[in-house]
Chains A and B, each alone.
Chain A
Amino acid sequence: MSIMKLSIGPQHPISAHFRFLLDVDGDVVLKLEPDVGYTHRGIEKLAEKRTYLQNLPVIERVNSYCDSAGTMLGYLEVIEELMGLEVPERAKYLRVIAAELNRIASHLYAASLFSVATGLETMLMWPINDRELILDLLERLTGQRITYTYQTIGGVRFDMPDGFKEEALKRLDYLEKRTEDYYKMLLWNHTFHMRTKKVGILRPSDAIKLGVVGPNLRASGVKVDVRKDEPYEVYDRFDFSIPTGKNGDSYDRLEVRFKEVGQSINILRQALKDIPKGPIKKWVPPIVPKGEAYTRVEAARGEFGYHLIGDGSMKPYRLKISPPSFRNLIALPHLCQNIPLADVPIIYISLDLIPMDVDR
Chain B
Amino acid sequence: MIDKSAEELIVDSVKARFPEEVIEAKVQRKNRVSISVRNNRIYDVGLFLRDELEFDHIASVSGVDYIDMNEFEVIYYVWSINKKVLVGLRTKIPRDNPVLKSLVDVWEGVLYHEREVWEMFGIKFEGHPNLSLLLLPEDWDGPPPLRKDFVLPETHQERLEEKIKKLSSG
Contacts and interface: CB of A to CB of B under 8 A. Distances in A.
Do A and B touch, yes or no (CB under 8 Å, in the complex)?
yes
Nearest to B112: A330
A16 B5 CA distance: 46
A68 B46 CA distance: 34
Interface in B18-37: 31-32
B133 A211 contact: no
Contacts of A359: 135
Interface stretch (A23-31, A105-113, A154-162, A319-327): A319-327
A274 interface: no
B153 to A, nearest CB: 11
A4 B112 CA distance: 26
Interface string A292-321: 001010000001010101000000011010
B81 A37 contact: no
Q: Name the interface size band of chain B.
A: 35 or more
A318 B145 contact: no
Interface in B46-105: 56-60, 62-65, 75, 77, 79, 81, 84, 86, 88
A44 B57 CA distance: 23
A360 interface: yes
Contacts of A329: 112
Interface residues of A, number: 32
A209 interface: yes
Contacts of A330: 108-109, 111-112
Contacts of A239: none
Most B CB contacts (10 A, CB to CB) among A49, A211, A230, A303 go to A211
Contacts of B32: 294
Contacts of A36: 134-135
B137 A307 contact: no
B43 interface: no
Contacts of B112: 326, 329-330
Contact of A208 (B81, B86, B111, B134): B81
A318 B31 contact: no
A150 B64 CA distance: 30
B135 A37 contact: yes
Contact of B60 (A42, A210, A322): A322
Contacts of A42: 145
Contact of A309 (B64, B113, B146, B150): B64
Given A36-B134, A294-B88, A320-B62, A209 B56 contact: yes
Contacts of A229: 31, 84
A224 to B, nearest CB: 6
Contacts of B84: 229-230
Nearest to A291: B28
B136 interface: yes
A193 interface: no
A45 interface: yes
B152 interface: yes
A36 B115 CA distance: 12
A12 interface: no
Given A318-B64, A320-B62, A307 B75 contact: yes
A311 B137 CA distance: 31
Given A294-B32, A294-B86, A211 B135 contact: no
Interface of B: 31-32, 56-60, 62-65, 75, 77, 79, 81, 84, 86, 88, 107-113, 120, 133-137, 145-146, 150, 152
Closest 6 CB pairs of A and B: A211-B109, A322-B60, A320-B62, A211-B58, A37-B135, A40-B135
